[in-house]
Amino acid sequence: MSITTPTLIWLFPLAFMLHDFEELILSEPWLRKNAADIKLMIQNRAPAFLASQISGVLDKSATQFAFPICLIFSLVFLSSFLAAEYGRYGFFLLASGLFFLHGFAHIAQAIALRRYIPAVITSALIAIPYGLVLYRRLLAEGIVDLPRLLIYFLVAALLGVPFILVMHKLGEYLYKKTVSLLIG
């Protein structure tokens, strides 16, 4: 029995959440142990603005980290909905491309740091394999051709870090507003 293309597209939100569960569950204890080393590394290798933004992300609790993940998940869901239900693939190709490349980024981080990082296991077992199956199908069905897919990957790679930083800033703002509104 073969899985339909719309079903494969709808598996994107599930793949995203399984991947991000690993990050959410393990990020806080991992960061307590490793954040100082990472801050030192990026301080010497990244532009000051980017280093300060990344440093701010490293100081978040799992609860604070959940807000940007929720925002990104909403966009993942929307992209899948538009692709599976209306045949509007552009946003989906961008979002799934970012997820696919993000999996490789986690593996590269683990290699560079020479240690486990949260999300490396699900990058290897879910994010990258899902992308390989998805893109093989989309290419075979003519939904996208290789040059266009590579352009989506390039755009995703260029926008990935700014997008994630904006989602973290917006998540931080919403977290503070939510806590203030509901808890006082």
Q: What is the pLDDT of residues 62-75, one digit of tens each?
A: 888 899 999 999 99
Domain ranges for the chain: 5-182
Average pLDDT over residues 106-129: 94
Average pLDDT over residues 102-126: 94
What's the pLDDT at 44?
73
What's the pLDDT at 112?
87
Residue 1 has pLDDT above 70, yes or no: no
Provide the token pair at 2: 């073969």
What is the pLDDT confidence band of residue 130, given thresholds at 50, 70 and 90? very high
Average pLDDT over residues 97-104: 97
Query: 69-72: long-range contacts at Cβ-Cβ below 8 A with a sequence spacing of 24 or more?
Result: 69/20, 69/23, 69/24, 69/171, 70/171, 71/167, 71/170, 71/171, 71/174, 72/16, 72/164, 72/167
Distance CA 44, CA 21 (A): 30
Residue spans of alpha helices (H) in 46-145: 48-58, 62-86, 90-113, 120-122, 128-140
